[in-house]
């Protein structure tokens, strides 16, 4: 095929090969009725081209049934040296209780999907229930969520894991129902406080004698800062990635976006596996080149420096302070309002006194200081506190 100057793909065949000629020459070589039909089709194509989107249409990978075959083993990985054929079935290592299905379709994908959700096959439900539990408590009932084999850890409470897996299947594999079940439980609603006796009996909190304290993810921290300052962009959908296709994959226009320079929710920020934002890696975002079921939390000084010096945090602290100052209230009521907005609770009498004392000392230390700076500093302190960054 070839394209003429007007963008239409036209070609004629002569002696078994394409011969490129102008549109007029090709139409002239056709019988009158065929030439008229071709002209109508070309005019229709021209009208359709006017309706095409100006940008490349987003594409996604998908699968469909087609011709299949039983693949042969490549001996020592050499495709020039095929060995015995391998039937299309579930890998033997995964066949714990449910038998392998008989492949009746071409690819076997339908049989594999049915096998995964078969009630006689508890492994997928256990894995998913454990992942959901991990998201709420920081650690799963099985603390190696990527490994349920001999090298992985044993479940701390196998009966609980089986109970959750059964409820998950009975609930139609609904993740929302699992969230509701866990969050309404007494275990989830426990305090993180514990005493020496409890620590002696359950030092690693494997028995969940108290709620495990855990740090918010960097996505939650960032979005919470923007939300409390009134800057979080709640626009649904869309993309912030200016790149299209694979052209310029390593160009500067396709690197990961700086999370501190946009107000969109973190879920919409485009990420490049080889160029993750510094802020994300600082808070243990994880290796984007390999699948990981659990982020390994670290505590380093640079995390505190981010909370102290980030322009994003300072800006949102100023927004909260400005909003509170606009209200005609006494300083005591303003301190209470800031606690409610940042920590989602009312301060006790001692905390109110500490806040007022902080404001007084701040004003004395800096001669030429305005009220906005003083209240911004107090708000900033609460936004950088462990109580905000950690879940108790």
Give the rounded percent of residues in the chain with a pLDDT score beyond 70. 88
Identify the weakest region by mean pLDDT among 5-14, 70-79, 279-288.
5-14
What is the pLDDT averaged over residues 210-224?
A: 92
Give the rounded percent of residues in the chain with a pLDDT score beyond 90. 40
Rounded CA gap, 222 and 216, in Å? 10
pLDDT band at 67 (very low <50, low <70, confident <90, very high): confident
pLDDT confidence of residue 229: 92
Q: What is the model's pTM? A: 0.72
pLDDT confidence of residue 250: 56
Q: Which residues contact 122 (CB under 8 A, 6 or more apart)?
A: 96, 97, 162, 165
Residue 20 in this model has a pLDDT that exceeds 50: no
Rounded CA gap, 11 and 5, in Å? 13
Residue 287 in this model has a pLDDT that exceeds 60: yes
What is the pLDDT averaged over residues 338-359?
A: 93
More confident residue, 379 or 289: 379
Residue 189 in this model has a pLDDT that exceeds 50: yes
Rounded CA gap, 249 and 243, in Å? 8
**Count of residues for the chain?**
392
Q: Which of 220, 197, 219, 218 is nearest to 209 (CA)?
A: 197
Rounded CA gap, 261 and 278, in Å? 13
Number of Cα atoms under 13 Å in the Cβ half of residue 191: 4
In contact, 371 and 325? CB cutoff 8 Å: yes
pLDDT confidence of residue 11: 40
In contact, 266 and 219? CB cutoff 8 Å: yes
Identify the weakest region by mean pLDDT among 48-52, 54-58, 111-115, 117-121.
54-58
In contact, 140 and 285? CB cutoff 8 Å: no
Q: What is the mean pLDDT of the chain?
A: 84
pLDDT confidence of residue 218: 92
Identify the weakest region by mean pLDDT among 25-29, 115-119, 140-144, 242-246.
242-246
What is the pLDDT averaged over residues 361-386?
A: 87
Q: Report CA-CA distances (Å) from 181 to 44, 129, 169, 187, 340.
A: 58, 11, 13, 11, 28
pLDDT confidence of residue 386: 92
Any idea which residue has 């994880």 for tokens?
286
Rounded CA gap, 251 and 258, in Å? 15
Residue 332 in this model has a pLDDT that exceeds 80: yes
pLDDT confidence of residue 150: 80
């Amino acid at each position: 095929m070839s394209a003429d100057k007007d963008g239409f793909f036209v070609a004629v065949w002569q002696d078994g090969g394409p011969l490129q000629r102008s549109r007029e020459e090709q139409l002239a070589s056709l019988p009158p009725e065929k030439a008229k039909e071709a002209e109508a089709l070309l005019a229709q194509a021209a009208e359709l081209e006017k309706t095409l989107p100006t940008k490349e249409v987003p594409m996604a990978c998908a699968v469909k049934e087609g011709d299949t075959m039983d693949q042969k083993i490549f001996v020592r990985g050499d495709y020039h040296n095929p060995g015995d054929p391998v039937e299309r079935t579930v890998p033997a290592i995964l066949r714990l209780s449910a038998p392998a299905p008989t492949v009746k379709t071409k690819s076997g994908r339908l049989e594999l999907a049915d096998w995964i959700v078969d009630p006689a096959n508890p492994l997928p439900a256990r894995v998913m229930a454990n992942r959901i539990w991990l998201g709420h408590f920081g650690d799963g009932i099985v603390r190696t969520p990527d490994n349920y084999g001999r090298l992985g850890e044993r479940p701390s409470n196998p009966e609980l894991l089986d109970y959750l897996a059964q409820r998950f299947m009975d609930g139609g594999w609904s993740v929302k129902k699992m969230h509701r079940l866990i969050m309404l439980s007494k275990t989830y609603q426990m305090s993180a406080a514990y005493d020496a006796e409890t620590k002696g009996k359950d030092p690693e909190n494997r028995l969940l004698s108290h709620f495990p304290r855990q740090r918010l993810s960097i996505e939650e921290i960032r979005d919470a800062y923007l939300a409390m300052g009134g800057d979080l962009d709640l626009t649904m959908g869309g993309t912030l990635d200016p790149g299209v296709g694979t052209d310029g994959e390593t160009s500067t226009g396709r690197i990961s976006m700086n999370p501190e320079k946009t107000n969109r929710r973190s879920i919409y920020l485009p990420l490049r596996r080889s160029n993750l934002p510094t802020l994300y890696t600082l808070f243990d975002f994880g290796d984007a080149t390999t699948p990981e079921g659990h982020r390994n939390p670290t505590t380093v000084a640079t995390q505190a420096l981010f909370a102290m010096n980030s322009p994003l945090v300072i800006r949102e602290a100023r927004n909260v302070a400005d909003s509170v100052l606009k209200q005609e209230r006494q300083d005591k009521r303003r301190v209470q309002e800031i606690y409610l907005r940042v920590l989602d609770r009312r301060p006790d009498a001692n905390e109110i006194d500490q806040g007022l004392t902080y404001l007084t000392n701040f004003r004395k230390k800096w001669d030429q200081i305005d009220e906005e700076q003083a209240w911004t500093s107090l708000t900033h302190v609460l936004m950088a506190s462990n109580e905000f960054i950690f879940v108790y």
